[in-house]
A and B are shown apart, each in its own frame.
Chain A
Amino acid sequence: MNGLGNVFNLLAYAAAAVFILGFLYKVIVYFKTPSPLNIPTTPGPKTSGGVVMRLIPEILFFRSLLKGGAAEKILWFGGWVFHVCFLLIVLRHLRYFTYPVPGFVMSFQQIGIWAGLIFPLALLILIVRRFTNDRLATISLFADYFVLLLIIGIGLTGILLKYFMRTSLVEVKAFILGLVTFSPAPMPDSTMFTIHFLLVLVLLVYFPFSKLMHAWGVLVAPTRAQADNPREVRHMTPWA
Chain B
Amino acid sequence: MADFKTPELTGAVTTPKITPGASRHIKQFIAKPELMEKVGFPPQKASDWKEQFIRKMGEVLKKYKSVKVFLDICVRCGACTDKCHYYLGTGDPRNMPVYRQELMRTVYRKYFTTGGKLFGGLAAAREISDELLDEWWVYFYQCSECRRCSVYCPYGIDTAEITMAAREIMDSIGMGSKYNLEIVHKAETIGNNLGMNPDALKSTWEFVEEEIEEKTGVRAKLPVDVEGADVLLATPSADFFAEPHIYSLEGYAKVFHQAGISWTLSTHASEGGNFGMFIGNYNHMKTINKRIWDAARDLKVKRVIAGECGHAWRAMYAFSNTLNGPFDFLQHKSPQHICEFTLDLIKKGALKLDKSANDEFTVTYHDSCNVARASSMGNTPGDQFTIPRELINAVCNKFVEMDPNTTGERTFCCGGGGGVLTDEVVEIRVKGAMPRMQEYKKIKDSHGANFFALICAICKAQFTKVFPYYGIEMEEVGGVHQLISNALVMGAKEGV
Contacts and interface: CB of A to CB of B under 8 A. Distances in A.
Contacts of A35: 64-66
A209 interface: yes
Closest 9 pairs between A and B when the two form their complex, measured CB to CB = A217-B73, A43-B381, A223-B156, A224-B156, A214-B73, A135-B81, A231-B334, A33-B65, A43-B382
Given A46-B381, A211-B73, 12 more contacts: A33-B61, A35-B64, A36-B63, A36-B64, A43-B409, A71-B78, A129-B78, A135-B78, A135-B96, A230-B319, A230-B321, A239-B63
B200 interface: no
Given A42-B409, A135-B96, A217-B72, A230 B79 contact: no
Interface in B140-180: 147, 150-158, 161
A118 interface: no
Interface stretch (B225-233, B372-380, B424-432): B372-380
B490 interface: no
A75 interface: yes
Question: Which residue, B81, B114, B334, B375, has most C-beta atoms of chain A within 10 A?
Answer: B81
B55 interface: no
7 contacts: A37-B322, A75-B78, A135-B93, A209-B113, A213-B72, A214-B75, A231-B321
A182 interface: no
Contacts of B62: 33
Interface stretch (A98-106, A141-149, A187-195): A141-149
B276 to A, nearest CB: 12
B322 A38 contact: yes
B384 interface: yes
Scoring A38, A134, A230 by chain B CB atoms within 10 A of each residue's CB, the highest score goes to A230
B361 to A, nearest CB: 28
Given A35-B66, A211-B75, A135 B322 contact: no
B63 to A, nearest CB: 6
A186 interface: no
Given A134-B18, A209-B113, A41 B150 contact: yes
Contact of B72 (A71, A136, A140, A211): A211
Interface in A212-228: 213-214, 216-218, 220-224, 228
Contacts of A71: 78-79, 82
B163 to A, nearest CB: 13
Contact of A221 (B157, B319, B326): B157
Contacts of A39: 66, 158, 161, 318, 374
